[in-house]
Amino acid sequence: MAAAETEIRYLKGVGETRAKSLNKLGVFTLGDLVDYFPRSYEDRTQYSLIAASPLEEPVCIRALVANTPTLSRVKRGMQLVKFRAVDDSGSVDITFFNQSWIRNQIHQGETYIFYGKFSGNLTRRTMTNPDWEPETREGVKTGRILPKYPLCQGVSNKQLMRCIRTALDTIGDGVPDALPPRIREEYHLAQARYAYENIHFPTDFGALELARRRLIFEELFVLACAMDQLRSARTGLDGILIPPAEIGRFYAALPFTPTGAQKQAVVQALEDMASGRLMNRLIQGDVGSGKTMVAAACVWSVCSAGKQAAFMAPTEILAEQHLATMRGFLSPFGFRVEKLTGSMTAREKREIKAALAAGEIHLIVGTHALLTADVAFSDLALVITDEQHRFGVGQRGALSEKGHTPHVLVMSATPIPRTLALIIYGDLDVSVINELPPGRQKVDTFTVDESYRQRLYGFIEKLVGEGRQVFVVCPMVEENEEFDPTLKSAVEHAEALQEAFPQFKVACIHGKMKPKEKDAVMASVVAGTVDILVSTTVIEVGVDVPNAALMIVENAERFGLSQLHQLRGRVGRGRHKSWCILISNAKNEEAKARLKAMCETNDGFKISEEDLRLRGPGDFFGSRQHGLPEMHIADLCGDVRVLETAQSAAKALLKADPSLSSPENAALALRVRQLIESNQGTVN
- Contact partner at residue 288 from ligand ADP, Mg ion, none, CB < 5 to 8 Å by partner kind: ligand ADP
CB of 145 to ligand ADP, least distance (A): 50
By CB under 6 A, tell whether 284 contacts ligand ADP: no
Identified binder of ligand ADP from the candidate list 97, 256, 333, 457, rule CB under 6 A: 256
CB of 10 to ligand ADP, least distance (A): 54
> Where is 464: in which H helix or E strand?
helix 453-465
Stretch that binds ligand ADP, among 62-70, 280-288, 372-380, 424-432 (CB under 6 A): 280-288
Cα separation, 470 vs 579, whole angstroms: 10
By CB under 6 A, tell whether 337 contacts ligand ADP: no
Q: Indicate the residue among 145 and 416 with the shorter CB distance to ligand ADP.
A: 416
Coil, strand or helix at 364? strand
- Contact partner at residue 287 from Mg ion, ligand ADP, none, CB < 5 to 8 Å by partner kind: ligand ADP
CB of 611 to Mg ion, least distance (A): 20
Q: Indicate the residue among 151 and 324 with the shorter CB distance to ligand ADP.
A: 324
Identified binder of ligand ADP from the candidate list 573, 576, 594, 671, rule CB under 6 A: 573
CB of 602 to ligand ADP, least distance (A): 13
Q: CB within 8 A of 304, min separation 6: which ones?
A: 245, 333
- Residue pair 501/460 in contact by the 8 Å Cβ criterion: yes
Q: Indicate the residue among 319 and 580 with the shorter CB distance to Mg ion.
A: 319
Per DSSP bridges, beta strands 280-285 and 407-412 are: parallel
Q: Indicate the residue among 432 and 500 with the shorter CB distance to ligand ADP.
A: 432
Site for ligand ADP in 411-430 (CB under 6 A): 413
CB of 408 to ligand ADP, least distance (A): 18
Q: Indicate the residue among 584 and 608 with the shorter CB distance to ligand ADP.
A: 608
By CB under 6 A, tell whether 272 contacts ligand ADP: no
Alpha carbon distance, N-terminus to C-terminus of the chain: 41
Q: Residue number with the shortest CB distance to ligand ADP?
A: 290
Cα separation, 628 vs 608, whole angstroms: 18
Stretch that binds ligand ADP, among 67-75, 198-206, 281-289, 443-451 (CB under 6 A): 281-289
Nearest to 45 by CA among 118, 126, 115, 93: 115
Stretch that binds ligand ADP, among 105-113, 119-127, 286-294, 340-348 (CB under 6 A): 286-294
> Where is 160: in which H helix or E strand?
helix 157-171
- Contact partner at residue 566 from ligand ADP, Mg ion, none, CB < 5 to 8 Å by partner kind: none
> CA distances (Å), 66 to each of 85, 91, 130, 483, in order?
5, 9, 17, 49
Identified binder of Mg ion from the candidate list 542, 560, 572, 604, rule CB under 5 A: 542
CB of 460 to ligand ADP, least distance (A): 23
- Contact partner at residue 308 from Mg ion, ligand ADP, none, CB < 5 to 8 Å by partner kind: none
Cα separation, 527 vs 310, whole angstroms: 26
Q: Indicate the residue among 292 and 405 with the shorter CB distance to ligand ADP.
A: 292
DSSP 52-118: GPPTTSEEEEEEEE-S--EEEE-GGG-EEEEEEEE-SS-EEEEEEES-GGGGGTS-TT-EEEEEEEE
Identified binder of ligand ADP from the candidate list 53, 289, 419, 562, rule CB under 6 A: 289
By CB under 6 A, tell whether 528 contacts ligand ADP: no
By CB under 5 A, tell whether 572 contacts Mg ion: no
By CB under 6 A, tell whether 293 contacts ligand ADP: yes
Stretch that binds Mg ion, among 18-26, 30-38, 222-230, 536-544 (CB under 5 A): 536-544
Q: CB within 8 A of 53, min separation 6: which ones?
A: 59, 61, 118
Identified binder of ligand ADP from the candidate list 143, 147, 285, 415, rule CB under 6 A: 285
CB of 530 to ligand ADP, least distance (A): 18
What's CA 46's distance to the chain center, in Å? Answer: 38
- Residue pair 581/551 in contact by the 8 Å Cβ criterion: yes
DSSP 300-354: HHHHHTT-EEEEE-SSHHHHHHHHHHHHHHHGGGT--EEEE-TTS-HHHHHHHHH
- Contact partner at residue 285 from ligand ADP, Mg ion, none, CB < 5 to 8 Å by partner kind: ligand ADP
CA torsion, ordered 615, 618, 621, 623, to nearest 10 deg: -120
- Contact partner at residue 570 from ligand ADP, Mg ion, none, CB < 5 to 8 Å by partner kind: none
User: In what order do the strands lie in the sheet containing 506-509?
Assistant: 444-448, 579-583, 548-553, 469-473, 532-535, 506-509
Identified binder of ligand ADP from the candidate list 150, 417, 546, 622, rule CB under 6 A: 546
CA atoms lying within 13 Å on the CB side of residue 297: 29
Q: CB within 8 A of 601, min separation 6: which ones?
A: 607
By CB under 6 A, tell whether 287 contacts ligand ADP: yes
Q: CB within 8 A of 182, min separation 6: which ones?
A: 664
CB of 181 to ligand ADP, least distance (A): 49
* Residue 302 CB burial class (10 angstroms; 0-12, 13-18, ≥19): buried
Identified binder of ligand ADP from the candidate list 544, 554, 557, 639, rule CB under 6 A: 544
Q: Indicate the residue among 342 and 437 with the shorter CB distance to ligand ADP.
A: 437
> CA distances (Å), 304 to each of 249, 275, 299, 301, 331, in order?
11, 17, 8, 5, 12
By CB under 6 A, tell whether 617 contacts ligand ADP: no
By CB under 5 A, tell whether 314 contacts Mg ion: no
- Contact partner at residue 31 from Mg ion, ligand ADP, none, CB < 5 to 8 Å by partner kind: none
By CB under 6 A, tell whether 363 contacts ligand ADP: no
- Residue pair 490/615 in contact by the 8 Å Cβ criterion: no
225-228 long-range contacts, Cβ below 8 Å, gap at least 24? 225/650, 225/653, 225/654, 225/660, 225/668, 225/672, 226/393, 226/672, 226/675, 226/676, 226/679, 227/393, 227/423, 227/426, 228/426, 228/650, 228/651, 228/654
By CB under 6 A, tell whether 437 contacts ligand ADP: yes
Stretch that binds Mg ion, among 98-106, 108-116, 398-406, 537-545 (CB under 5 A): 537-545
By CB under 6 A, tell whether 259 contacts ligand ADP: yes
- Contact partner at residue 205 from Mg ion, ligand ADP, none, CB < 5 to 8 Å by partner kind: none
Amino acid in the structure at residue 684: N
| Residue 31 phi, psi dihedral angles, 5° rounding | -60, -45
By CB under 6 A, tell whether 328 contacts ligand ADP: no
Cα separation, 26 vs 3, whole angstroms: 18
Q: Indicate the residue among 498 and 547 with the shorter CB distance to ligand ADP.
A: 547
Chain residues binding Mg ion by CB under 5 A are: 542
Chain residues binding ligand ADP by CB under 6 A are: 256-259, 262, 285, 287-293, 413, 437, 542, 544, 546, 573
